[in-house]
Amino acid sequence: MSKAVLAVHGGAGVIRKGMLEPAQEQAYHAALATALQAGYAILNQGGTSLDAVCAAVKELEDCPLFNAGRGSVFTHDGLHEMDACVMEGKELDAGAVAGVDGIRNPVLAARAVMEHSEHVLLSGAGAVAFARNQGLAFESETWFHSDFRYAQWQEALAEDRVRLDHSEKKFGTVGAVACDVHGNLAAATSTGGMTNKRWGRIGDSPVPGAGTYANNAGCAVSCTGHGEFFLRGVVAYDVHCLMEYRGLSLQEASELVICQKQLALGGEGGLIAVDAEGNSAMVFNSEGMYRGLVSAKGLETAIYGG
């Protein structure tokens, strides 16, 4: 049986049964399934894990349900500042962008940084200029606008505080991890950050080792959670290190980091991960996480814990 596997997430947090209407639940399941199908179609044809995770995240960025790409939240100044990162596990190449606006698919900008520059992480106006130079698609502010996100921003402005994402405590980052038929790993993560964020705040998502990591010697990881804590815990790399240096399984390492070490710090959230043998883990310490997995065994999506 092929060890090709792809997992995606669309955020974690206070996501309880009963909070979503049946139609909303169906919409989330359908969006996750669409992303999984886009990525797995590549893996199923012998394509690379990097192509697969980028295809999956692109679908999630184009869906307004998630806080990434089109669905990104508003900053304090009424803008959309997005972050993204990609990494592949064979050569440990990585690329990332932070604080970018107007780019339709930040994950593709991150990949362009990896493949067409000498750098790993570009930010702000420089990253936007680079993306234009690479011929990437841009959209107007109306593409990124939604009344729902606007209402969140207005509430946060009135309360004069930063919000993690929704009115309920939720981390809306999206991500994907994959193992291809050759045993090569890749990870990609994309986010719009925190509602009403100020001063160019950047979380863990675009930082290799914190929110995103891939290494064939261990695993590929994409995180979603309170970025400040995930940065401090170097979460994605920590999972890999526990596997490579302590010999833990993917599931054991993921649970130790998320359910013990991050909880001790105060960090809420979760992660998805795969290893080079096609094993997978989807672990979170919050009440729910939008997530899905596809392999030769089939496709499944889930929202709630338990």
CA dihedral 151, 154, 156, 159 (to 10 degrees): -130
Cα(223)–Cα(303) distance, integer angstroms: 16
CB 67 within 8 A of CB 74: no
Pick from 179, 282, 267: nearest CA to 222: 282
Q: How far apart are CA 7 and CA 135, in angstroms?
A: 29
- Measuring CA to CA, which residue among 208, 210, 209, 211 is closest to residue 191? 211
Do 60 and 190 contact (CB within 8 A), yes or no?
yes
Q: Give the DSSP per-residue string, 37-58.
A: HHHHHHHHTT--HHHHHHHHHH
**Catalytic residue among 48, 75, 142, 173, which?**
173
Give CA–CA dist 73/33, Å, rounded.
Answer: 23
Q: What does residue 47 show for φ and ψ, rounded to 5 degrees? A: -75, 175
Q: Could you report how far apart the first and last alpha carbons of the chain are, in Å?
A: 29
173 is catalytic: yes
- Residues tagged active-site: 173
